[in-house]
Amino acid sequence: MFVYADNAATTAMSKAAIDAMTPAMHQLYGNPSSLHQKGREANYALMDARETVARCLNAQPREIYFTGCGTESDNWAITEGARLGAEQGKRHIISDPIEHHAVLHTLAKLEKQGFEVTYLPVHEDGVVRLEDLAAAIRPDTCLVTIMFSNNEIGTVQPIREIGALCRERGVLFHTDAVQAVGHLPIDVAADNIDMLSLSGHKFHAPKGVGALYCKKSVPIRNFIEGGAQERGRRGGTEAIPAILAMAAAMKDSCEHMEENMARVSAMRDKLIDGLSKIPRSRCNGSPDHRAPGLVSFCFEGIEGESLLLRLDLAGICASSGSACTSGSLDPSHVLLALGMPHEIAHGSLRLSLSEYNTMEEVDYILQQVPEVVRTLRQMSPVWSRMLETMEDPYQ
Ligand SMILES: *Cc1c(COP(=O)(O)O)cnc(C)c1O
């Protein structure tokens, strides 16, 4: 059996996305900035796509800027949020330690430029507390950037309340919603969001296209230098086929949100139940505030890497944490921020589902993972050392 359970790293393209992209690649090759009919044709399609994306977020079309990826959107929003603050003499930013590196590395760069960043604790469940945020906001705070839902442990933050607090205190609020768009209902107006980053390939659109929502009252400037595209704020000829595919995928996801959420979270819950039966295992993240498709576990006494290799041989595509840190031997910064010891954080497994997965696949995972964990433990020196001080749970 083959099971793709790494949807937080990237997703397969949907039929809706491919059906929108294919004719665009054949016919819509005009440059939307050109004044002739081929240009106009592309420009109309671009306007349609912008309207679709805006509608899914309850934003206005002119508040949507297409970008090259989620990383670019994050870099842009945070850099501009900081610049706008600095213009008013405000150089304090608030975030948290379990953000994606697109956010954390941008913040690190700003810290080198003299900004001060407060990282709110996320506690053992990975959730930011409103009272911690309220206490951290200062007169010189210019920006709060907190992700909508986490890509490693799936915790969903209280975004609407965070947004309300920021608005009340006059602080700009950006959220990295790359893991949330297409999977959770989002309403930028009701959720009090000023800036929001999204990326197509996390909801069945192609890789290499994203967007930034920026509320029209926020006077952001361009992040990269170039032409007059995107109302002068994001130069570079628009990737029409990819943008149309992203709009189609977003519309498709938003129209089927309720049923997809129900189906995917039922599979997630079954996985969590089943994996919890493995001795010395723990489910990471909050049980209550969790994205529909995300399951993250730690198994004591084994290495996440060897677990992944064995699962791969069994046809299961999973991950140990974020795709961006796999390949390095450091344990995930997210698991460490939850207060997990290094040796346990090493034995982590992330399974991320989408509506393309099935219950049969979940059953197959539940048959394979406990066996692989047991086999690896039999070979693990760490596990045998643990057996000196505890009863063997497999006896
Ligand atoms: C994938 C991801 C990103 C980066 O998006 P790209 O389009 O791959 O650049 C940023 N933030 C989160 C939470 C992500 O999961």
Query: 329-345 pLDDT, tens per residue?
Result: 678 899 999 998 888 88
Among 67, 75, 100, which residue has the most ligand 1 atoms within 8 Å of its CB, making it the best to mutate? 100
Residue 363: both structure tokens together:
């059953």
Average pLDDT over residues 358-374: 98
Q: Quote the distance between the C-alpha of residue 239 and its chain's center.
A: 22
Residue 125: both structure tokens together:
């469940």
Among 71, 103, 175, which residue has the most ligand 1 atoms within 8 Å of its CB, making it the best to mutate? 71
Residue 70: both structure tokens together:
């989620």
Residue 324 is predicted with a pLDDT of 47
Check if 179 has its Cβ closer than 6 Å to any atom of ligand 1: yes
Rg of the chain (C-alpha set): 22
Q: What is the DSSP letter of 202?
A: G
pLDDT digits 0-9 by tens, 43-64: 999 999 999 999 999 999 999 9
Whether residue 319 contacts residue 304, with contact meaning beta carbons closer than 8 Å, is answered with no
How far is the CA of 326 from the CAs of 211, 301, 320, 378, in angstroms?
Answer: 26, 19, 7, 24
Q: How far is the CA of 314 from the centre of ligand 1 (A)?
A: 28
Query: Over 60: is that where the pLDDT of 306 sits?
Result: yes
What is the DSSP track for 51-80? HHHHHHHT--GGGEEEES-HHHHHHHHHHH
User: Which residue's CA is minimally distant from atom 3 of ligand 1?
Assistant: 70
Whether residue 207 contacts residue 198, with contact meaning beta carbons closer than 8 Å, is answered with no
Q: How far is the CA of 10 from the centre of ligand 1 (A)?
A: 9
Whether residue 205 contacts residue 196, with contact meaning beta carbons closer than 8 Å, is answered with no
Let me know how many helices (H) and strands (E) the chain has, helices first: 14, 12
Residue 326 is predicted with a pLDDT of 46
Q: Alpha-carbon distance 71 to 331, whole Å?
A: 22
Considering 204-218, 294-308, 337-351, the range whose residues carry the highest mean pLDDT is 204-218
Residues counted in the chain: 395
Average pLDDT over residues 97-111: 98
pLDDT digits 0-9 by tens, 270-295: 999 999 999 999 999 988 899 999 99
Closest CA to 332 of 157, 75, 98: 98
Contacts of 316 (CB under 8 A, 6+ apart): 3, 5, 364, 365, 368
- The catalytic residues are 324
User: Which residue's CA is minimally distant from atom 12 of ligand 1?
Assistant: 178
Percent residues over pLDDT 90 in the chain: 93
Q: Residue 372: enclosing H or E segment and its boundaries?
A: helix 359-379
Q: Alpha-carbon distance 374 to 380, whole Å?
A: 10
Q: How far is the CA of 72 from the centre of ligand 1 (A)?
A: 9
Query: Over 60: is that where the pLDDT of 327 sits?
Result: no
Beta strands in the chain (DSSP E): 3-4, 64-67, 92-95, 116-119, 141-145, 172-176, 195-199, 210-214, 281-283, 294-299, 316-317, 348-352
Query: Over 80: is that where the pLDDT of 110 sits?
Result: yes
Contacts of 297 (CB under 8 A, 6+ apart): 275, 278, 281, 282, 283, 284, 348, 349
Query: Over 80: is that where the pLDDT of 68 sits?
Result: yes
CB atoms < 10 A from the CB of 231, how many? 9
pLDDT band at 325 (very low <50, low <70, confident <90, very high): very low
Q: Alpha-carbon distance 119 to 325, whole Å?
A: 20
